[in-house]
Amino acid sequence: MSAVAKLLIDYGWQVSGSDDNFYPPVSEYIKKHKIKFTNGYKAGNIPGNVDLIIVGKHARLNEKENTETRAALKLGVPVRSYPEILGELSKNTQNIVVAGSYGKSTCAALLAWCLEHAGKDPSYFIGAIPNTPLESSKKGNGKLFVLEGDEYPSSNWDDKSKFLYYHPAHILLTSLTHDHLNIFRTQEEYKNTYKKLLLLLPQKGLIVACADGEGIKETIKGCGLDKNTVFYSVNSKAPWHIANTKLRQLSTFDIVYKNKVVTKIRTSLLGKHNFENILGVAALLLSLKIISPAEFSEAVAGFESLNRRLDRRSDKIAVPIYEGFGSSCAKAKSAIEAMRAHFPKRNLVVIFEPHAFSWRSGDAVEWYDSVFKGAEVVLIYKPPRGTNRFDLGNILKRIKISGPKAEGFSNVQRGLSLLENNIGSNSAVLILSSGGFGGFIGATTKWLEEKFPEIY
C-alpha cells in the first residue's frame, strides 16, 4: 500500500492513510515521503473532502469489525482495492508483470533498475522497499510499466487475484511453488489463478519462465502458450542459463544463450536463487531487445539487495548479518542455502519469526522438518496473536527433531540473552520474517555492532 500511495502522489493525488501494525521498513518509507498517516483505525481518519478510498486486503479490514471500513463504505465515494487502481494507472502502457511464488520483488526491482539505467524512464510498482531504484514505485514518462504481480486476493470483497488487473504485455514467471495455503487449498487451485494470468497475454506477448519451477511447463502448455515462451534455468541447460559461477562477496558468472556467452555478470547478491532472478530478468530484457547486454551487466553490477531480501543489516559488524523474507518455506530455504554457500566455514544462526499464517497452520507442519537444514542454531520468536494451530512449543519440538539446536523467546531481553549464548566470532546470522519481530531486528543489529565491531 505504501508503494501505491507514492505512485498516486506522482499522479497528482493528495494521499493520507491508516494502519494498526506499523513497522520498518515501510514506516520509514512513509515518513520519508511525508505521507499523512494515522496509527489505528477510526472513522475520523477519513478526510471530509475525500474523492477516493482504497482499502487493503487484511482480515481486520472487514466491514463488520472495522469502523473505518464501515464508514468508508457509507460515504458514497468510490471504494477500490489497490490492484484496481494499479490497473487503471497502467491501462495505457506496455506492462511487464512479474509473477510467481518467490523472486517477484527482486526481479521487479532489477527490471526497473535496468530500464532506468538504460534511460528508458519506466513506471514501476515494487512490493518491497528497494535500494536500487531509490523508490518502490514511480510514474515514468516511458512506455513501459513494471508491475510486481501478486496472486493473493484483491480485497475482502473481491477474490480475484491482484495480478489479473494488470494488463500484461509480457510476463516473467519465476515459480509456482504452492503458497498462501489459507487461500489456495490445493496446488491445482494455485496453478489455476496463474493460468488466468497467462491467458490475458496478447498474441505477440512473451512469457519468460523458469524451467525448474514446479508445474510451470505443464501450466504454460495447458494454456497453449508454448510458442510464446522462453525458458531459463541455473540448474539445467535451458536456452538461457549461467556458467562459470564463482561465489564470493562479489560473485561472478556468465549468462549464456544457446551455448553462447551473452554477457559476464558481477553481483553482490547472495545465493543461487538471486542468480536465477538475474538470469530471468536478462532473458526477458535481452529477448525483447529492450536494452543491450552491456547495459544489462553494468546495471546488475550496481544493483543492491532489497530491504528484507538478503540485504546486509550493517557493514559495521565483523560477523555477517543478513535479513531475508521468511514468508514461506521456499523463501526461507533459499535464504539459508545462500548463507551456507557464501559462508561455508561459519556457524549459521537463524533468527526466525513464524509471522505468516502458513507457518502457523497445521497444513504446513512438515515445513519445519527440513527448512532449517544447514543451520546450527535456530532462535524462534513467538508467533503473533491470532489463530495459531501450531504454537511456539510445538514449533520448537518439531525443529529439534530435525536436528538443529532450537530455542524460543517472547521479548527482546530474552532474545538478546539467547544471542549472547549462541553467537560467536565465527558465526553468520540470518534473520527471517515477514513481520515486525517486536523490535528485535534493530536490537539485534545494535547488539552485534557493539559485541563484534568491524575493525578497518
Q: Is 319 helix (H, G, I), strand (E, B) or coil?
A: coil
Structure-block grid coordinates of residue 2 = 505504501
Give the residue from 40, 179, 20, 29 showing the smallest Cα distance to 99. 179
Output helix, strand, coil percentages for the chain, rounded to the nearest 5: 35, 25, 40
Q: First CA to last CA across the chain, in angstroms?
A: 40
pLDDT of residue 236: 76
φ, ψ of residue 255 in degrees (nearest 5): -95, 125
3-state SS assignment for residue 74 = helix
Cα(437)–Cα(427) distance, integer angstroms: 21
34 φ/ψ sector (left φ>0, alpha ψ -120 to 50, else beta): left
pLDDT at 387 (0 to 100): 56
pLDDT of residue 60: 81
pLDDT per residue as tens, the chain (456 positions): 999 999 999 999 999 999 987 778 888 899 999 999 999 999 999 999 999 999 999 878 888 889 999 999 999 999 999 999 999 999 999 999 999 999 999 999 999 999 999 999 999 999 999 999 999 999 999 999 999 999 999 999 999 999 999 999 999 999 998 887 778 889 899 999 999 999 999 999 999 999 998 889 999 999 999 999 999 999 877 999 999 999 988 999 999 999 999 999 999 999 999 999 999 999 999 999 999 999 999 999 999 999 989 999 999 999 999 999 998 898 899 999 999 999 999 999 999 999 888 788 777 788 999 999 999 999 999 988 765 567 899 899 999 988 899 999 999 999 999 999 999 999 999 999 988 888 899 999 999 999 999 876
Contact 309/128 with Cβ under 8 angstroms?
yes
| Domains of the chain and CATH, by start | 2-80 (3.40.50.720), 83-301 (3.40.1190.10), 311-451 (3.90.190.20)
Read off the pTM.
0.86
* pLDDT at 380 (0 to 100): 96
114-128-172 Cα angle (round to 5): 50
Q: 272-287 and 104-117 are packed helices; what angle lies between their axes, rounded to 10 degrees?
A: 50
- Closest by Cα among 244, 242, 267 to 256: 242
- CA 74 – CA 88 distance, rounded (Å): 23
What does the alpha-carbon distance between residue 39 and residue 344 come to, in Å, rounded to a whole number?
43
- Beta partners for 379? 351, 407
Q: What is the DSSP letter of 453?
A: B
Q: Which three cell numbers stand for residue 311?
A: 540485504
- Surface-to-core class of residue 401, CB atoms within 10 Å of its CB (0-12 exposed, 13-18 middle, 19+ buried): exposed
Predicted local distance difference test score (pLDDT) of residue 384: 84
308-345 per-residue burial string, b: 16 or more CB within 10 A, e: under 16: bbbbebeeebebbbbbbbbbbbbbbbbbbbbbbebbee
Q: In terms of DSSP bridges, do strands 321-325 and 427-433 run parallel, antiparallel, or are they unpaired?
A: parallel
Q: How far apart are CA 190 and CA 181, in angstroms?
A: 9
Local structure of 208: helix, strand or coil: strand
